[in-house]
Amino acid sequence: MTPIIITALQGSDLRQAMRGAVAYLELYRDAANALNVFPVPDGDTGTNMLLTLRAGVAQMDKDADDVGAGAVAESIAAGAFWGARGNSGVILSQLLRGFADGVAGAEGMESSHAVAAFRAATDSAYHAVSQPREGTMLSVIRGASDAMASANDAGEDDVIALWEAAYAGAIAALAYTPEQLPVLKEAGVIDSGGLGVVAIIGGALRHLQGETGPAVDLGLRSVGGVINPAQTDSVAIAADFLDAHEAEEFGYCTQFVIHGQGLDVDRLRTGFGEIAESTVVVGGGGAARIHVHTPDPGAALTYGIGYGEIDEVKIDNMSLQNRDWASGHRERARPAAIRPGVSVIAVASGKGLADLFQDAGCAAIVPGGQTLNPSASEIIDAALAAGAGDVIVLPNNHNVILTAAQAAEAGAGEITLHVVGTRTMPQGTAAMLGFNPELSVDDNLANMEAARMAIETLEITQAVRDSTVDGSPVREGQFMAIRDGNLAALADTAESVLQQGLASCRVNDDSIITLYWGAGASAARAARLQEELAAQWPGVQVDVYEGGQPHYPYLVSVE
């Protein structure tokens, strides 16, 4: 029997393929999250890529279903742009943008379109970062593109066969990433973003081959960098955040904080789960942060009041928001008048840190940070709420900088966004103190950039798996002090590793040490640490604040 050759994929084929890509990326989400070079408990690559791809497919599903492959690809790219989260999500959104450009205007995706789409996806992804590095998801998409082009050059005209060649090329490129990027080889892992790209291409291929059932294991965990499944527990909050976005299109997104005594997180989660969907409850003890989706926000607020006082109430009509989407972007509610001048918005995770930014004059807070990376759309919404002609964005996390830049590139009508590249919360608070609303935007940008660069940051967290980092073996459960992105110290307690990490910083008689304590620490432990540091460095000012940040018992700045 002569094999059937598929010379073109129609719009309906591409729709099914991308739904398959989502299913398979979800299957490998936790594995990608766990593949951190640093064995920290806040992996978010898989989550960010999945949320980004879901945003693209959600836009595809909103648009007409009787269009060609080019129009389907355009819908996906447009949705992914606005929904992109984190560095990996932004790069994925640009990959999808290039893919759409390569097949633009085509009714059916023929072999020439497929090759052009993968090549344009590669070029667009590389252009998304200022300093492209091999051994990342960039290398994997290029491996897929090169393999597809080679097969086409050899005479292959079957589009599905070309996709198979791309998948094989992507797997080979993923396996090679530790040889290209020494930190991956040292840590014993493959690239997490690369794994996501392979899952997307493989999932799409399975559906193009006729699969209609649930996603099945593609065997990608055996490519290299195997992570113990038990270690994916470290990404539980990321998974909660992801699940909270499942039903974003329905009812009201309702968020608030309950202040009370002895708040039981499990009991609250169960109670809210009975009256709402997409329930996320974090915190406990004296304060709990609530996130629910519900057709009646009043019921959720009334239930919360039964446990204590509530504040930080934020209610978004998701149904109305989704109706506002058009051509891949939202028509957002704009302030009645854009006032002249400069405002600042900041990404922050933790009530204490959010309060500090607001007390320092921040016009709006974008909830997020480690694990909870906001989208470009959310950043633009906050900028619009600020209402000034120029809005400075403080990402406060290395994984939010690209998203903030994408939001700034998109713009917000009469409002111009500017990004100060704060990579940590302490850098953000330092930059905020350099802000003066009476100065021009250029002067503020210069002052805030200088302020963020004038401090050193220590991040104290606990290893979630055995690894090797910067030549040092790290045991699961050890505490790490990460100084401006590099491992500075290891110890068995958060307080001792903090003190060792400070020894590597430039502390002198004129220094100010600021501690922000969060999950895993306490006011009493922070106060003791403050006394010990003051005794260790007489004359040095040591300030302590409750930051409330997840995953990191202490964040420290030295200036």
374: exposed, middle or buried (C-beta count within 10 Å: 0-12, 13-18, 19+)?
A: buried
* Burial of 57 (C-beta count, 10 Å sphere; 0-12/13-18/19+): buried
Q: Give the CATH number for residue 427.
A: 3.40.50.510
328: left (phi over 0), alpha (psi -120 to 50) or beta: left
* Average pLDDT score over residue span 223-246: 51
Scanning the structure block, which residue is given the tokens 């950043």?
A: 379
Nearest partner of 407 among 384, 389, 441, 431, judged by Cα: 384
Q: Is residue 3 part of a domain?
A: no
Whether residues 130 and 101 fall in one domain: yes
At 154, the pLDDT band (50, 70, 90 cuts) reads very high
pLDDT at 328: 35
Angstrom distance (rounded) from CA 456 to CA 67: 53
Does 552 fall in a domain? yes
Share of the chain above pLDDT 90, in %: 46
Domain with 63 in it: what CATH number? 1.25.40.340
The total number of structural domains in the chain stands at 4
DSSP structure class, residue 158: -
Q: Please give the order of strands across the beta sheet that includes 364-367.
A: 364-367, 339-348, 388-394, 416-419
Asked if residue 254 and residue 222 are part of one domain, the reply reads: no
- Model pLDDT, residue 326: 31
| Whole-angstrom distance, CA of residue 128 vs CA of residue 84 | 12
**pLDDT at residue 43 above 80?**
no
pLDDT of residue 371: 57
Query: Domain check: are 373 and 509 in the same one?
Result: no
pLDDT in tens, 61-107: 888 777 899 999 999 999 998 888 888 899 999 999 999 999 999 99
Average pLDDT on 384-396 reads 90
Per the CB < 8 A criterion, the answer to whether 103 and 116 are in contact is yes
Residue-level pLDDT at 93:
92
* Residues 360 and 445 occupy one common structural domain: yes
- pLDDT tens for 106-135 read 999 999 999 999 999 999 999 888 788 999
Q: Do 423 and 310 fall into the same domain? A: no
| Both structure tokens of 133 | 């590095």
Q: Give me the pLDDT at residue 337, please.
A: 63
What is the rounded distance in angstroms from the CA atom of residue 461 to the CA atom of residue 481? 7
Percent of the chain whose predicted confidence (pLDDT) is above 70: 87
Mean pLDDT in residue range 4-18: 84
Same domain, 449 and 530: no
Residue 63 falls within a domain, yes or no?
A: yes
The pLDDT of residue 524 = 94
Q: What is the DSSP string of 408-477?
A: HHH-BTTBEEEE----SHHHHHHHHHT--TTS-HHHHHHHHHHHHHT-EEEEEEE-SS-EEETTEEE-TT
Counted residue by residue, the chain has a size of 559
> Domain check: are 181 and 56 in the same one?
yes
Residue 458's pLDDT is 94
Do 364 and 468 have their domain in common? no
- Report residue 502's pLDDT band, with 50, 70 and 90 as the boundaries: very high
Q: Is 292 in contact with 279 (CB distance < 8 Å)?
A: yes
- Where among 298, 325, 352 does a domain terminate? 325
Average pLDDT over residues 310-330: 54
Question: Of 532, 531, 523, whose CA–CA distance to 553 is shortest?
Answer: 523
527 and 465 assigned to the same domain: yes
Quote the pLDDT of residue 280: 63
Reported confidence tier of residue 244, pLDDT bands at 50, 70, 90: very low
Instruction: Identify whether the C-beta of residue 121 lies closer than 8 Å to the C-beta of residue 93.
Output: no
For residue 16, name the pLDDT band (cuts at 50, 70, 90): very high
State pLDDT tens for residues 260-282. Answer: 888 887 788 788 888 887 666 66
Kindly state whether residue 312 falls inside one of the protein's structural domains.
Answer: yes
Tell whether the model's pLDDT for residue 241 goes beyond 50: no
Measure the CA dihedral 96/98/102/103, to 10°.
Answer: 30
Question: For residue 189, what pLDDT is reported?
Answer: 85
On whether both 223 and 100 belong to a single domain, the answer is yes
Examine the pLDDT at 494 and tell me if it is beyond 80: yes
In a domain, 2, yes or no: no
Q: Would you state the pLDDT for residue 414?
A: 81
Q: How confident is the model at residue 369 (pLDDT cuts 50, 70, 90)?
A: low
The answer to whether residues 293 and 346 belong to one domain is no
| Residue 557 dihedral angles phi and psi, to the nearest 5° | -120, 145
Is residue 69 assigned to a domain?
Answer: yes
Domain end (from 297, 325, 353): 325
Tokens of 506: 């430039």
For the chain, what is the mean pLDDT?
84
> Among 168-177, 214-223, 425-434, 530-539, whose mean pLDDT is lowest?
214-223
> What is the pLDDT averaged over residues 153-170?
95
220 has pLDDT over 50:
yes
Question: Residue 268 is part of a domain; what is its CATH number?
Answer: 3.30.70
Q: Which of 422, 453, 484 is the last residue of a domain?
A: 453
What is the extent of the structural domain holding 460?
Answer: 456-558
The residues facing 469 across adjacent strands are 472
The pLDDT score that the predictor gives to residue 4 is: 55
Question: Would residue 387 count as lying in a domain?
Answer: yes
> What integer pLDDT is reported at residue 228 of this predicted model?
59
Residue 524 lies inside a defined structural domain of this protein: yes
Q: Verify that 363 and 445 share a domain, yes or no.
A: yes
> What is the CATH number for 463?
3.30.1180
243 pLDDT higher than 60: no
Reference 260, options 228, 232, 285; nearest CA is: 285
User: Per residue in 321-366, pLDDT tens?
Assistant: 443 433 333 344 455 567 888 999 999 888 888 888 888 888 888 8
